């Protein structure tokens, strides 16, 4: 097998693998095997009539592809959260073979993680990473994160009662008062309230394009 490299104009290195073979007339012929070394080894073995090598993929390789191909398509806040979660996952699993990640291993990670709520988010991200790996054809194993029990979370219970509401409202600028009124009447997320414009009122309905779900809703409050 031959490895070819080429430096692109942007500085990145292009890599591809080829089978060094012969055609029917005995002339040398290079057969493309692709850019993935593990897959190239499999294709090489088929052409050379050798036993197909078992592919051992490390979690770090899967993390790299997810960070490159999936995270950039998410909302900025979600990207930030995912990168922080991925940083923690890399500490534990970067050098681990995918085949060794089992529900028991993830349960141990959950129990040993000091940030209990963060552990829930990290396992949820890992679950999506495994689902993407299945879509990419990297693995056909069941998702090991499916059914993993989450740590108990205490929901936020703070409520701004009349005293706090009035104290802020009475000293607020007109823009902040408008935002407070809009949030109170519609129950929308603060980010969606702040993104609202007068042009969002159509035929007497206030239309919201929710930033988190991208779902459009109408409010008549």
pLDDT by position in tens, the chain (length 221): 899 999 988 888 899 999 988 777 778 888 899 888 888 888 888 887 766 555 568 899 999 999 999 999 998 989 999 999 999 999 999 999 998 999 999 999 999 999 999 999 999 999 999 999 999 888 889 999 999 999 998 776 777 788 888 899 899 998 889 888 888 888 787 888 888 887 877 777 777 666 665 566 655 55
Separation CA 79–CA 70 (nearest Å): 9
Query: Does residue 124 share a domain with residue 70?
Result: yes
Q: Identify the pLDDT of residue 104.
A: 95
Within 10 angstroms of residue 144's Cβ, the number of other Cβ atoms is: 21
Q: Identify the pLDDT of residue 50.
A: 65
Would strands 201-202 and 205-209 be described as parallel, antiparallel, or unpaired? antiparallel
| pTM for this prediction | 0.57
In a domain, 128, yes or no: yes
- Determine whether 159 is exposed, middle or buried from the number of CB atoms within 10 Å of its CB (0-12, 13-18, 19+): exposed
Residue burial 84-114, b: 16+ Cβ < 10 Å; e: rest: ebbebbeebbeeeebeebeeeebeebbeebe
Query: Does residue 120 share a domain with residue 65?
Result: yes
In a domain, 185, yes or no: yes
In a domain, 157, yes or no: no
Separation CA 75–CA 212 (nearest Å): 8
The SS3 of residue 140 is coil
Q: Identify the pLDDT of residue 211.
A: 61
Q: Identify the pLDDT of residue 9.
A: 87
Q: Identify the pLDDT of residue 15.
A: 92
Query: Does residue 116 share a domain with residue 93?
Result: yes
Query: Does residue 108 share a domain with residue 84?
Result: yes
In a domain, 144, yes or no: no
Q: 50: phi > 0 → left, psi -120 to 50 → alpha, else beta; which?
A: beta
Radius of gyration of the chain (CA): 26
Single out the residue of 166, 159, 89, 94 nearest to residue 125, CA to CA: 89
The SS3 of residue 69 is helix
User: What residue numbers bound the domain in which 120 lies?
Assistant: 59-135
In a domain, 13, yes or no: yes
Separation CA 153–CA 108 (nearest Å): 18
Query: Does residue 86 share a domain with residue 43?
Result: no
> Count of domains in the chain?
3
Alpha helix ranges (H) inside 36-173: 37-47, 59-69, 76-93, 103-112, 116-135, 162-171
CATH number at residue 96: 1.10.150
In a domain, 153, yes or no: no
């Amino acid at each position: 097998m031959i490895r070819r490299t080429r430096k692109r104009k942007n500085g990145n290195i292009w890599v591809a693998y080829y089978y060094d073979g012969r055609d029917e007339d005995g002339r040398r012929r290079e057969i493309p095997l692709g850019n993935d070394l593990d897959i190239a080894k499999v294709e090489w073995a088929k052409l050379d009539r050798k036993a197909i090598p078992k592919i051992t993929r490390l979690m770090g390789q899967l993390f790299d592809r997810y960070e490159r191909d999936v995270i950039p398509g998410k909302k900025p806040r979600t990207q930030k959260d995912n990168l922080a979660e991925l940083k923690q996952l890399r500490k534990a699993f970067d050098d681990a073979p995918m085949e060794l990640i089992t529900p028991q291993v993830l349960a141990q990670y959950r129990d040993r993680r000091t940030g209990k709520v963060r552990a829930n988010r990290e396992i949820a991200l890992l679950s999506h990473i495994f689902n993407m790996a299945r879509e990419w054809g990297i693995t056909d194993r069941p998702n090991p994160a499916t059914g993993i029990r989450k740590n108990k979370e205490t929901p936020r219970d703070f409520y701004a009662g009349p005293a706090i509401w009035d104290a802020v409202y009475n000293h607020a600028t007109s823009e902040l008062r408008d935002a407070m009124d809009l949030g109170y009447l519609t129950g929308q997320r603060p980010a969606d309230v702040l993104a609202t414009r007068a042009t969002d009122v159509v035929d007497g309905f206030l239309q919201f394009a929710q930033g988190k779900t991208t779902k459009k809703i109408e409010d008549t409050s």
